Structure 1
Amino acid sequence: MARSATFRALMALLAAALVSPVGTATAAPKVSQSSLASELELAMRSAGSSSGAYVVNSSTGRRIFRKRSSTPRILASNTKLFTTSAALAQYGVEGRLNTSVRGRGALSAEGVFRGDLYLIGGGDPTFGSATFTRRAYGSGATVQTLASKLEDVGIRRVTGRVYGDESSFDSLRGGPDSGYRISPYVGPLSALAYNRGLTSENGSGYQSSPAGFAASALTGALRARDVRVTGAPRAKTTPSGTEELATAESPTMTRLTALTNKPSDNFFAEILLKDLALSTGRRGTTAAGASLATSFASRLGARPTRLADGSGLSRANRATPARVVALLRAMQRRDEFDEFFASLSIAGRDGTLGPRLRSGPARGNCRGKTGTLSNVSALSGYCRARSGDTYVFSILMNNVNPFGARQLQDRMAQAIAGVR
């Protein structure tokens, strides 16, 4: 009786946190297999009627808990689960995105290229300067790599200019949440995004013409190697009759999905969504990418109600908790699962779950994708319980205070991971 009263008191405090800007860390309850559903039910009662959850023991296939699990909810950044799973499947875990330089002209024996160079974007979100890319991602395609390769083929002078070509994507700079204009939560979208569209490496301001900016950066990298370029850089679509002179590859899709999911990177997610369309020979658009991601999930029996973008910034992104769990369980059976699983934040250790669940059974044993918008909070993923079983869960909370909602989600994750 004393334990029951204490637990009810704690849940009352957590319920208050849903409307309060402050809260306390959650303790890990002692949970048995038979009592887990009751523990989860208590937490969900405090989340309100606009929230849902679904939990399955994937080791046994047994459904453990459901609460309004068939009602679509706003996904927030849980949308990235649909984007990145589709990208891994489409490109393969070793797939890469290419940024290339093509030339229209002739190279003399003296190293003079009489013509123009075309820097063509292939939707690589890591493309940039060597300094920025190394600091931000550890590695990636750079203008310095391309300049070195152009020098290697014998180019010492260019009589024309460098053109930047971003025509692999449409010209819309943002997603639906920003009216397809540049969003401060994303940055300018472009097939030839350079340093994430920032005007300086320290992160201030956005480029008005990403293609022109990238062309200018390559021109500068060439001149730094004493390769003279006569004309000023411009933006232009590559004409026919060019030949490939140099290519720089992105990190693998495995790395790109980790760079997307662990920090919940909106820019990467939106670029990868457009890359989905690009991979099928279409122009990279948000709508086409969302359609392909939806089709992929549908083939897995996990069709979302609607995908409007790649990042989850749009409140139109919706799915049921049961469908999110269906996606996560289907990924367990796919060849890309290890890479997909590794892309998720580890509770108490890294990514957006690094500051959460820093003690108790969930720490190091749960991996998941968080999601936050105004009045929206989500957490979906996998937990390895003390019993040795793996649980797959999705908790989608709408019309809540995100801070208080996270307290409840953490309580639920601790309960799942604590099952003996």
Structure 2
Amino acid sequence: MKKNLLLFLSIVTIGCASHKKLVKTTTDKLETDFFKNQFTGFFVYNPKSGDTIFNYNGEKYFTPASNTKIFTLYTAHTLLPENLPVLKYIVKNGQLYIEGLGNPTTLHPYVKDSSLVKFLKNQNNIKLYYNNITDHRYGPGWSWDDFDAYYAPERNPLPLYGNVVTLAQTDSLYASPLLFKDSVTLAKTKYQRAMKNNHFYIDPEEKDTIEIPFITDNLTTKHILENIVEKPIAITNEFPKGGKTTLYGIKADTVYKRMMHISDNFIAEQLLILSSSMLSDTLSSNKARDYILDNELSGIPQNPRWVDGSGLSRYNLFTPQSMVFVLNKLYKEIPTDILFDIFPTGGETGTIKNYFKGNPTPYIHAKTGTLSNNYCLSGYLKTKSGETLIFSFMNNHYRGGSTDVKKHMTPLLEWIRDNY
């Protein structure tokens, strides 16, 4: 009995000493001149023991950038079925009434779901209802001069082609959707699209394929759909009452992986809108956010200011602790082989393909968040002892580029990997 007690006390003492060393070493690495010249938060948690491993400004609010997509992922995972809903429809008096649900995948340049097109090609007397959304085409706090940037397409109830026109110059001009081909001018201009209409500009010397957001509205959606299905579509301002049928498309995990690996803002925004379709006939990303925060995330340590799905807005404010809270929920609810595949892997995939490399085994599965003067990384860290830790490392208000920030983050994360 005495020997067992001594052994127990010895293990506790060693554990405490090891933890103290980790805290001291990590703190020393953060309190260098580099990190002191910015605002940094770092929170590390062990989901197996429920212990906080390290906390440095973990309860303070940061601009998360695309770390916001972690909350969007959790919302979609919670509310959406295995196959994503594409649209709802009802047949009345020989007329097919359809309304979009915000699904981002229809003819998306990379995801390329054709479920909607196949369905409509077998229908007649189609009427499109477009007034089932409350969200503005742009999110709160988005930069106005990003209107022509590939990473900021508009939001709408029935996205097509990722809400971007894809242009390329080969032997002739390639444009997709084809509807916009006659609205392209070869010219070197400051912006790639007119601000208030769908007229596009491409540099005559441009060799790469480029993507430019187009302005979305009911008529544009109608014309694009008519070109695809080769039959007339009418606009209607009323949707008949009665039981609606839902058309489903591709599996959700494929879309989640694209959102997280490429940090696809458009998919993130639309997934939040699509999630709201499970709560109401009116599409509202606000409704989806409020529902998740009031229910599944009601125990979150610090309530975030969460205004969009992608993190494009600088109005968003999240703490490292709140990030870890949601990451832990995902860790408990999704098998790790699937979860770690959805997140980018350091040295191998996505936005951290060239950073946080394992030697030889990958040890980081995490989402980046990048805006000017902001770089965040939140996810899962696998230690050499076999533990999986959950962390959020948030950096705001530095003057240089993110490469230097990542350079200084790397040895700190590696030290935890090697010593915990």
TM over 0.5: yes
Given the superposition, is the C-alpha separation of residues 166 and 40 from structure 1 closer, same or farther in structure 2, using an over 3 Å criterion?
Answer: farther
Corresponding residue number in structure 1 for 2:138: 174
User: Aligned to 2:409, what secondary structure does the other structure show?
Assistant: helix
C-alpha deviation, 1:274, in angstroms: 1.8
CA drift of 1:325 comes to 1.4
Aligned-pair CA distance for 1:297: 5.5
CA displacement at 1:322 relative to structure 2: 1.6
Does residue 219 of the first structure (1) align with residue 219 of the second (2)? no
The one-letter amino acid of 2:322's match is R
- Does the aligned pair in 2 maintain the 1:56–1:64 contact within 8 Å? yes
> Counterparts in 2 of 1:70-149, with a 5 A limit?
70-92=59-81, 94-100=82-88, 102-106=90-94, 117-128=96-107, 133=108, 136-137=110-111, 139-149=112-122
Q: Following TM superposition, by how much is the alpha carbon of 1:279 offset from its aligned partner in structure 2, in angstroms?
A: 1.4
| Structure 2 counterpart of 1:192 | 158
Deviations 1:73-121 (A, max 9, x none): 11111111111112101124x1421225555543xxxxxxxxx554421
Matches within 5 A, 1:3-402: 35-45=21-31, 46-48=34-36, 50-92=39-81, 94-100=82-88, 102-106=90-94, 117-128=96-107, 133=108, 136-137=110-111, 139-150=112-123, 158=124, 162-170=126-134, 172-178=136-142, 183=147, 184=149, 185-199=151-165, 200-201=175-176, 204-223=211-230, 229=231, 231=232, 233-240=233-240, 248-281=247-280, 283-296=282-295, 298-334=297-333, 339-360=338-359, 364-400=362-398, 401=400, 402=402
Instruction: Give the fraction of aligned pairs with identical amino acids, expressed as a percent.
Output: 21
RMSD: 3.0
Residue range with higher mean Cα deviation, 402-411 or 174-183: 174-183
**Secondary structure of 2:389 counterpart:** strand
CA distance in 1, matches of 2:242, 2:323: 45
Unmatched runs of 5 consecutive residues or more in structure 1: 1-31, 107-115, 151-157, 224-228
Other structure's SS at 2:213 match: coil
Q: Which amino acid in 2 is paired with 1:63?
A: T
Q: Closer, same or farther in 2 for the Cα pair 1:146/1:354, shift >3 Å?
A: same
SS state at 1:251 partner: strand
Query: Does the 8 Å CA contact 2:356/2:364 hold for their aligned counterparts?
Result: no
* Post-superposition offset of 1:310: 1.1
- SS in structure 2 of the partner of residue 307 of structure 1: coil
Could you give the per-residue CA deviations for residues 56-89 of structure 1, whole angstroms, max 9, x where no partner exists?
2333333221111111111111111111112101
Q: Kindly state the Cα deviation for residue 336 of structure 1 after the two structures are TM-superposed.
A: 6.8
Cα distance change of structure 1 residues 300 and 237 upon mapping to structure 2, 3 Å threshold: farther
Compared CA separation, residues 320 and 206, structure 1 to 2 (3 A)? closer
Equivalents in 1 of 2:326, 2:301: separation in Å? 5
SS in 2 for 1:249: strand
Specify the SS of the correspondent of 1:123.
coil
* 2:388 partner letter: T
- Name the aligned partner's letter for residue 146 of structure 1: F
Which whole-Å deviations, capped at 9, do the CAs of 1:1-48 have from their partners, x for residues lacking one? xxxxxxxxxxxxxxxxxxxxxxxxxxxxxxx87643344223322322
Change (3 A) 1:203 1:282: farther
Q: Equivalent residue of 1:125, what SS? A: coil
Distance (whole Å) between structure 1 residues aligned to residue 136 and residue 334 of structure 2: 34
Letter of the 2:321 counterpart: A
- Verify the 8 A CA contact 2:366 2:378 in the aligned structure 1: yes
When the two structures are superposed, what TM-score results if normalisation uses the length of structure 2? 0.75
- Secondary structure (helix, strand or coil) at the match of 2:355 reads coil
Q: Judging changes above 3 Å, is the alpha-carbon distance between structure 1 residues 188 and 234 closer, same or farther for their aligned structure 2 residues?
A: farther
Q: For residue 195 of structure 1, what is the amino acid of its counterpart?
A: Y
| 1:125 and 1:271 in contact (8 A); partners too | yes
1:52 is paired with a residue of what secondary structure? strand
Q: Tell me if the contact between 1:367 and 1:383 (Cα under 8 Å) persists in the aligned partners.
A: yes
CA-to-aligned-CA distance 1:294-327 (integer Å, 9 cap, x gap): 3346335355331111111111211221221122
For 2:54 and 2:296, locate their aligned partners in 1 and report how far apart those are by CA, in whole Å: 22
Q: Relative to 1, partners in 2 of residues 1:102 and 1:181: Cα closer, same or farther, differing over 3 Å? A: farther
- With over 3 angstroms needed to count, the CA separation of the structure-2 counterparts of 1:269 and 1:334, relative to structure 1, is same
| 1:355 Cα offset (Å) | 1.9
In structure 2, runs of 5+ residues without a counterpart are 1-17, 166-174, 177-208
Residue 409 (structure 2) aligns with: 409
String of CA shifts for 1:142-187, please: whole Å, max 9, x gaps: 453124443xxxxxxx5x6x44333332261110023799843321
Secondary structure of 1:79 counterpart: helix
> Would you say the 8 A contact 1:212–1:234 is kept in 2?
no
Q: Distance in 2 between matches of 1:171 and 1:375?
A: 28
Pair 1:288–1:90, CA change in 2 (3 A): same
